């Protein structure tokens, strides 16, 4: 997969996120699928903030959390975002993540290795794929939460927004 193909795939995967965020009822931000799940409001924060964090890893910026344990502890304490703040943060995160990937040369994207707190040392392309895997995982968690809450979501909203 080339970098251009990846960025096209990225756009396809994240496209339904904002329309789904806009379906979240403001009074249901505290809802959790299980006692150990993120709340809906935490998911609204975690999904875009994760993209911002992953962009920092790609850019090799200084990271606020350097180990999986630190990341997991932070995640359990994830703040809640309301819908408007989540949409704004998502737009920033999508731009920031795509900018980080776009800053890589094709050679770097395909061949260079990156030290990551989540996967250890991996190729850039693999870490970028992980970013989408992570996004899909939590987006599906949000989708299922909305379904349980009786919000009108279905396969079309899952894939097309």
Q: What is the pLDDT of residues 34-92, one digit of tens each?
A: 999 999 999 999 999 999 999 999 999 998 877 777 777 777 788 999 999 999 999 99
Phi/psi class of residue 114: alpha, beta or left (left: φ > 0; alpha: ψ in -120 to 50)? Answer: beta
Q: Taking Cα atoms as reference points, which of 4, 6, 1 lies closest to residue 132?
A: 6
3-160, CATH topology level: 1.20.120
Interval 4-21: pLDDT, tens: 999 999 999 999 999 999
Q: How confident is the model at residue 106 (pLDDT cuts 50, 70, 90)?
A: very high
Task: Give residue limits of the domains in the chain.
Answer: 3-160
| pLDDT band, residue 97 (cuts 50/70/90) | very high
Inter-residue contact 153 to 25 (CB < 8 Å) = no
Token pair for residue 1? Answer: 């997969």
């Amino acid at each position: 997969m080339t970098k251009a193909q990846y960025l096209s795939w990225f756009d396809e995967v994240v496209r339904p996120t904002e329309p789904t965020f806009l379906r979240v009822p403001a009074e249901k931000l505290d809802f959790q699928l299980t006692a150990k799940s993120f709340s809906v409001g935490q998911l609204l924060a975690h999904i875009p903030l994760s993209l911002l964090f992953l962009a920092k890893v790609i850019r090799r910026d200084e990271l606020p959390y350097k180990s999986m344990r630190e990341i997991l502890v932070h995640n359990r304490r994830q703040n809640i975002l309301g819908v408007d703040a989540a949409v704004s943060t998502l737009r920033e995160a999508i731009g920031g993540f795509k900018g980080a990937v776009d800053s890589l040369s094709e050679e770097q994207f395909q061949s260079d290795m990156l030290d990551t707190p989540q996967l250890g040392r991996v190729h850039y392309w693999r870490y970028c794929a992980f970013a989408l895997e992570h996004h899909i995982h939590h987006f599906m968690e949000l989708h299922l939460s909305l379904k349980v809450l009786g919000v009108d979501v279905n396969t079309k909203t899952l894939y097309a927004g």
